[in-house]
C-alpha cells in the first residue's frame, strides 16, 4: 500500500486519497453510534489528525486484516480510550488537517434507509458506496475531458442494467450516433469500470499484487452492495 511510504510524495498523495475515501464511512459509523453531527465531525476529524500525525498508517501492515478493518478497529479504540480524555481539536492547531465536508456527508447519512443496521453495517454500506462514487466520479471526469461527458451519463444507467433506462437505439438517437457505436462505448465503459474498481480495492489491501487478496476484497464489496446496501432499501 503506497500509504505506508511515509515522507514521500507518493505516500502523501495515497494518504490523502485514503482519507477522502474512508472518512465518510467512519463518520457514518460514529453517527450511528449515537453521536450528534458536531460531535461526529469532531471525532472523525480528530481521529484522522491523530492517525496522520503519529504515522499510525504503518500499523496496517500488522496481521492480515484489510485496511477498512484496521481503520474501524482503530476508530473504536480511539473513541473508547482517547476521545474521552481529549478536548476538541481546533483547526489550525498545527496537526495534520484532513479537509472534510460534513454537510454533504450528513445529508447522505440523513437519507440512509431507516433500519436497525448496526454501526458496523452502516460503515460497510458507506464504504462500498463511497468506492463506487469515487470510481464513477473519476471516470466521468475522464470522459468530460474528452467532450464525452453526455455519452457517459447516458450510458451509465445501462451499465447497471436499469430496467427503466434508455435502449441502445434511444441513446444512439440522442447522441446522434449509431447503435453499434453505443454498444462499443458500453463495452469500453464496463471494461474501464472493472479495472478502476479493481485498482481502487487493490489500494486498500495488504498486498496489491496478490490477485487472490484483491479478488477476495472485491467479492466482499459485491456482497455488501447486494446484501447490505441493496438489502436494506
Question: Using one digit for the tens of pLDDT, what is the confidence trace for 112-168?
Answer: 655 667 899 999 999 999 999 999 999 999 999 999 999 999 999 888 777 777 899
Based on the fold, state whether residues 186 and 92 are members of the same structural domain: no
The predicted pLDDT at position 231 comes to 47
pLDDT given at position 63? 43
Confidence of residue 95 (pLDDT cuts 50, 70, 90): very low
Instruction: Provide the domain count of the chain.
Output: 2
Choose one of 86, 111, 136: the last residue of a domain: 111
The residue from 84, 111, 138 where one domain ends is 111
Q: DSSP letter for 178, please.
A: -
Q: Calculate the dihedral angle through the C-alpha atoms of 212, 190, 113, 98, rounding to the nearest 10 degrees.
A: 70
- The domain in which residue 209 lies consists of 120-233
Q: Of 90, 111, 132, which residue is a domain's last? A: 111
Q: Same domain, yes or no, for 84 and 1?
A: yes
Same domain, 130 and 65: no
Same-domain status, 138 and 230: yes
144 and 225 share a domain?
yes
Tell me, yes or no, whether 133 and 231 share the same domain.
Answer: yes
Q: Are residues 69 and 30 in the same domain?
A: yes
Query: Grid coordinates 460514529 are at which residue?
Result: 30
Residues 227 and 156 in one domain: yes
Average of pLDDT values for 178-185? 95
User: Which pLDDT value is given to residue 203?
Assistant: 84
Q: What is the mean pLDDT of residues 78-83?
A: 77
101-110 LR contacts (CB < 8 Å, sep 24+)? 102/27, 102/37, 102/40, 102/41, 102/44, 105/23, 105/24, 105/27, 105/28, 106/31, 106/37, 108/24, 108/28, 109/27, 109/28, 109/31
Instruction: Say if residue 61's pLDDT is above 80.
Output: no
Amino acid at each position: 500500500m503506497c500509504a505506508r511510504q511515509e515522507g514521500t510524495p507518493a505516500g502523501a498523495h495515497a494518504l490523502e486519497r485514503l482519507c477522502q475515501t474512508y472518512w465518510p464511512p467512519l463518520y457514518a459509523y460514529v453517527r450511528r453510534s449515537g453521536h450528534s453531527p458536531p460531535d461526529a465531525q469532531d471525532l472523525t476529524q480528530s481521529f484522522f489528525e491523530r492517525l496522520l500525525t503519529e504515522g499510525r498508517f504503518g500499523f496496517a501492515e500488522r496481521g492480515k486484516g484489510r485496511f477498512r478493518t484496521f481503520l474501524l478497529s482503530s476508530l473504536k479504540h480511539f473513541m473508547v480510550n482517547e476521545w474521552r480524555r481529549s478536548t476538541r481539536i481546533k483547526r489550525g492547531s498545527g496537526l495534520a488537517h484532513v479537509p472534510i465536508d460534513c454537510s454533504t456527508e450528513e445529508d447522505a447519512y440523513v437519507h440512509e434507509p431507516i433500519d436497525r443496521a448496526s454501526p458496523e453495517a452502516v460503515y460497510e454500506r458507506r464504504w462500498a458506496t463511497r468506492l463506487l462514487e469515487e470510481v464513477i466520479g473519476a471516470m466521468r471526469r475522464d470522459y468530460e475531458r474528452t467532450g464525452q461527458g453526455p455519452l457517459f451519463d447516458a450510458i451509465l444507467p445501462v451499465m447497471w442494467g436499469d430496467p427503466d433506462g434508455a435502449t441502445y437505439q434511444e441513446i444512439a438517437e440522442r447522441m446522434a450516433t449509431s447503435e453499434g457505436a453505443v454498444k462499443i462505448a458500453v463495452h469500453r465503459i464496463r471494461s474501464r469500470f472493472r479495472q478502476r474498481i479493481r485498482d481502487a480495492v487493490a489500494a486498500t489491501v495488504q498486498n496489491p499484487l496478490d490477485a487472490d487478496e484483491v479478488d477476495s476484497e472485491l467479492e466482499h464489496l459485491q456482497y455488501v452492495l447486494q446484501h447490505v446496501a441493496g438489502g436494506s432499501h
